[in-house]
Amino acid sequence: MGTVVLYASKTGFTKKYAEWIAKGLKCQAISLDKVDQAAIDQAEVIVFGGGIYAGRINGLKKMQKYLAKWSNKKFIVFATGAGPERTEEVERVKSSNLSQNQDIPFFYFRSGLNYEKMGFKDKLMMKCFVTILKKQKNKSEADQKALEAMEKSYDVCDQAKIKDLINCVNRV
Ligand SMILES: Cc1cc2nc3c(=O)[nH]c(=O)nc-3n(C[C@H](O)[C@H](O)[C@H](O)COP(=O)(O)O)c2cc1C
């Protein structure tokens, strides 16, 4: 059974997870903008990953267009984000990005922030977001800690977290 991992990554976090997953599945990881038709044609299982930007999974729209063409293939999605792995947050991202009637396994991996690799617009958006949070009164200790973490680059990617996705692909 052939598997391919496709990814859309702006600052490298999703690429890192995609490469770990591809290594675990002994297959190729290909950036969505360099997608190779031959690799797709051979694959029965397509794993797609993208970073979350203001609640949207980067690249998923483009990927959904391809999906129509690849209806005979099994599709698995993962997203990377700076937010915690709280179930209700993950469910919100899943339900607002994937349609309910598509039975697509979904995984979330916590990543971090990389201001050095961020584009101008994304950096500006983050600065605005941080400013708004700073102005909020009566912040809990957890909110204050989250805000402080958000002001600089950090990386909490964890290779061990991909295990469930690997098992999911192997069960297909
Ligand atoms: C402008 C902007 C918006 C973001 N919005 C979210 C978000 O809504 N939820 C979240 O968990 N992380 C958010 N993040 C963090 C990214 O999802 C995280 O850094 C992700 O791993 C980036 O993946 P990439 O480097 O592969 O593009 C945001 C980052 C930026 C720069």
As beta bridge partners, residue 2 has: none
pLDDT at site 14: 98
Which residue among 113, 126, 150, 153 has the greatest number of ligand 1 atoms within 8 angstroms of its CB, and so is best to mutate? 113
pLDDT over 70 percentage in the chain: 99
Q: Cα-flanking dihedrals φ and ψ of residue 51, to 5°?
A: -75, 150
Q: How far is the CA of 82 from the centre of ligand 1 (A)?
A: 6
**Given a cut of 70, is residue 111 above it in pLDDT?**
yes
pLDDT at site 69: 78
Split at pLDDT 50, 70, 90, the class of 101 is low
Tokens of 16: 């890192």
User: CA–CA separation, 161 vs 56, rounded Å?
Assistant: 21
Nearest-CA residue for atom 10 of ligand 1? 81
pLDDT at site 1: 64
User: CA–CA separation, 17 vs 13, rounded Å?
Assistant: 7
pLDDT over 90 percentage in the chain: 73
pLDDT at site 98: 92
The residue-averaged pLDDT of 65-85 equals: 88
pLDDT at site 96: 94
The predicted-structure confidence for 25-64, as pLDDT tens digits, reads as follows: 999 999 999 987 887 888 999 999 999 999 999 999 998 8
The predicted-structure confidence for 131-164, as pLDDT tens digits, reads as follows: 998 999 998 898 898 899 999 999 999 999 999 9
Query: Which ligand 1 atom lies nearest to the CA of residue 11?
Result: 25
Q: Cα-flanking dihedrals φ and ψ of residue 106, to 5°?
A: -130, 135
User: CA–CA separation, 105 vs 122, rounded Å?
Assistant: 28
